[in-house]
Structure 1
């Protein structure tokens, strides 16, 4: 019997496959398309996604392929959020077309040993107490697989979600956005052009050699809601909003999407889980869908691996829904707010845009708050009242004495115990920096003093960081004996210790 089957070979499913393989879990990916879709549904990568790539040692291979833009938009307002103020090694947006993201992620997953089957479509499932029967159809005909867990990463029309009976409530479409990939003979002089007025909204960015993405909302009625608009209609829309058609010709792909937004009522049903667009449908506002999905996989991967391998403490896999469902809900709120700004062109809404635009331009704290929410940097999971304030937050790439950073320590996909006393005073008995603990997940231990000072970290003497880079435990305890005891308790909570009778 297989250990995990993933349905959907997009960025979410492929990254989840890589995370599982990093822990040695047997994983099969079923992707119904025989060939990768060459058209780019997404092209915006935010800092937190680049951080997770870096935390597995593959960041540079992705970043080197894209175009860096030091700011990003909120609702396509004229003034943009400044990403250079964010505490991250990647203080920018990366313009990188989704097909390239998929290509790189698939290569990474295959190198780790993932079985990626293209041209294989999921058709049905039967969930039993200790297994799932997955029915699929491939080039050789229909077949059945047994697996311990099934993860639906198969998009907004998820067949896995439907077969599992998981609800997908939300709101219907009240607006429509168009996307066209075309040649521009007279492209904008800036790498990220945007314009909004009473006629609608336009965004233009380069997405590859000789191609630009032209996207936006039509406030003139030139494009309509049904059918594929002709090239001349696209040019008329551009002239109405931007004052020029940029020499648009030869569109290779034209697509539209409504503003409907939905959120699965459960991310887990027994041995079935959902991630990415199968769990949430978002209006395309700043590429948040692609990033949210990959970060779902980042949260789920190590937890599912721990469950399959038998060392997960009670409730660990349930914490996937508990942590990511609220993030999905918050992101829906964020995109719905932007949808109102991006799709309504009444005098009242244009005035609201002006007010918010001034706030971004004049109040740096407001701009930074929005940037942290949109970029994923601000995502934090719940903590108990007695926990240190850092618990649940994303750990920054703390610089250590040898010039390395925390993200490099996360590459093996293990917990990281940081002794920041500089002398090993926080390490419980039997734990040293020379080897990992003899527990199934392993442990990376580092005794050091951070070179840089961070708000919230200045008095921290020890911390335990999860495999996904969020803080599991931290302490400012001055007494060394009490500090070691607290560290031992925190470590014990990461692993289910099974007795012979359990």
Structure 2
């Protein structure tokens, strides 16, 4: 019997497994995919997450591969509304690291293989999860173990099971935990492009004398937000001279091409993107929060616990911070059997509160990017200018980099 089975081998599940294995616990990861995904998906890694990654010895290698985003600028109608610097809000990691998710996952899998060789079961589809020896499904239930049923394979047993299996979590459904919608939905179109040579000052900033400040290399490592009348367009650097572009759309457009996305960017911002580095991806955002994150010996992390808008880069990072708190709680519950209830209750209470705060921030981010005209556009731009000035700018930078977590 394992100490912990983690269902889901994405970035959140793998980080949790690394943290548990580093504490000497017997961990196994069940991953439905037979091969890792090569899609870039989540790219922003915030300072609190880098601190957690440093604990398992992954941060240095990740930062070497990533682009360091030290600041961002906001534009509308060809005018700069403000600039936000991340360098003044923390000494250890004064930047957001940008790296495609598949590269981050590869580093975590490699580290887990070092800590617990052969403990990732690929191609494992979980069909059921059930506690044994438990009288109820509350946080402080005292079941003896949890059984995990696979579509093909033996029934597995563990003292605890963690669902890190995404927004459509089988583990959450098996535990009977409600997943409630919060806030209005939104739709976006996303794609990665080769970076064009700087054609305007929109990727650079200027000092008080009006001369260009910073090299072209630094400018290419800058985040750029366009709060335009037709909806927000966001641009983030990626390693290898690439950029990720995301545009809010009025409807989900799964058939849209990279040329369609380039056209939206051009019409709203005037910016020209480089060659497409893959197909465009349409996605919808609907935020959810689980009614509880623990049921007996079953716990949830990441998107299984809370589906947060990726606009602002909170989703993966929030899941990593779940893992950072759940790992010591599970260790305490396993090593001190009388601490089962209190350890997991603390995790459940704190992370649900944090997820609600993150959802509010994500909702604000989405609202700021919606199409606006007239008085509402003027009011939004006035607010953005005010938030870009001290002392508000420091608060915004801390929120954007998730230092409040």
Whether TM-score is above 0.5 comes out as yes
**What does residue 35 of structure 1 align with?**
35
Aligned mates of 2:44, 2:65 — CA distance in 1: 13
Aligned mates of 2:311, 2:123 — CA distance in 1: 31
Q: Does 1:133 align with 2:147?
A: yes
Structure 1 residue 150 displacement after superposition: 0.7
Q: Check the 8 A contact 1:75/1:285 in 2, yes or no.
A: no
Deviation string 1:243-263 (CA, Å, 9 cap, x unpaired) is 1432443x5132222231111
Structure 1 residue 59 displacement after superposition: 2.3
Structure 1 residue 10 displacement after superposition: 1.1
Aligned mates of 1:287, 1:344 — CA distance in 2: 21
Aligned mates of 2:35, 2:323 — CA distance in 1: 23
How many equivalent pairs are there?
370
Q: Check the 8 A contact 2:257/2:279 in 1, yes or no.
A: no
Answer with 325-334 or 187-196: which moved more. Answer: 187-196
Q: Which of 211, 216, 226 lines up with 1:195 in the alignment?
A: 226
**What does residue 173 of structure 2 align with?**
162
Q: Does 1:180 align with 2:191?
A: yes
Map 1:365-380; keep pairs closer than 5 Å: 365-379=391-405
**What does residue 292 of structure 1 align with?**
318
**What does residue 44 of structure 1 align with?**
44
Structure 2 vs 1, CA of residues 209 and 372 (structure 1 numbering), >3 Å: closer, same or farther? closer
Structure 1 residue 72 displacement after superposition: 4.9
**What does residue 334 of structure 1 align with?**
361
**What does residue 12 of structure 1 align with?**
12
Report the 3-state secondary structure (helix = DSSP H, G, I; strand = E; otherwise coil) of the residue aligned with 1:317.
helix
Aligned mates of 2:87, 2:195 — CA distance in 1: 30
Q: Check the 8 A contact 1:187/1:246 in 2, yes or no.
A: no
Q: Check the 8 A contact 2:66/2:239 in 1, yes or no.
A: no
Q: Check the 8 A contact 1:15/1:297 in 2, yes or no.
A: yes
Structure 1 regions of 5+ residues with no counterpart? 380-502
**What does residue 492 of structure 1 align with?**
none
Structure 1 residue 175 displacement after superposition: 2.3
Q: Check the 8 A contact 2:160/2:298 in 1, yes or no.
A: yes
Structure richer in helix, relative to its length = 2
Q: Which of 192, 204, 207 lines up with 2:238 in the alignment?
A: 207
Structure 1 residue 67 displacement after superposition: 0.8
Report the 3-state secondary structure (helix = DSSP H, G, I; strand = E; otherwise coil) of the residue aligned with 1:90.
coil
Q: Which of 244, 251, 256 lines up with 1:229 in the alignment?
A: 256
Structure 2 vs 1, CA of residues 215 and 22 (structure 1 numbering), >3 Å: closer, same or farther? same
Higher RCO, 1 vs 2 (CA within 8 Å, ≥6 residues apart): 2
**What does residue 464 of structure 1 align with?**
none
Deviation string 1:404-461 (CA, Å, 9 cap, x unpaired) is xxxxxxxxxxxxxxxxxxxxxxxxxxxxxxxxxxxxxxxxxxxxxxxxxxxxxxxxxx
Aligned mates of 1:75, 1:153 — CA distance in 2: 37
Q: Check the 8 A contact 2:181/2:287 in 1, yes or no.
A: yes
Q: Check the 8 A contact 1:176/1:217 in 2, yes or no.
A: yes
Q: Does 1:101 align with 2:104?
A: yes
Aligned mates of 1:4, 1:75 — CA distance in 2: 48
Deviation string 1:292-345 (CA, Å, 9 cap, x unpaired) is 011100010011012112277461221101111100000000100111001232
**What does residue 321 of structure 1 align with?**
348
Structure 1 residue 61 displacement after superposition: 1.5
Q: Check the 8 A contact 1:74/1:286 in 2, yes or no.
A: no
Q: Check the 8 A contact 1:187/1:247 in 2, yes or no.
A: no
**What does residue 79 of structure 1 align with?**
82
Structure 2 regions of 5+ residues with no counterpart? 134-143, 204-218
**What does residue 64 of structure 1 align with?**
64
**What does residue 118 of structure 1 align with?**
122
Deviation string 1:378-402 (CA, Å, 9 cap, x unpaired) is 23xxxxxxxxxxxxxxxxxxxxxxx
Larger Rg: 1
Aligned mates of 1:352, 1:124 — CA distance in 2: 51
Q: Check the 8 A contact 2:233/2:247 in 1, yes or no.
A: yes
Q: Check the 8 A contact 1:161/1:278 in 2, yes or no.
A: yes
Deviation string 1:271-295 (CA, Å, 9 cap, x unpaired) is 1100001111111222111110111
Aligned mates of 1:55, 1:302 — CA distance in 2: 13
Report the 3-state secondary structure (helix = DSSP H, G, I; strand = E; otherwise coil) of the residue aligned with 1:126.
strand
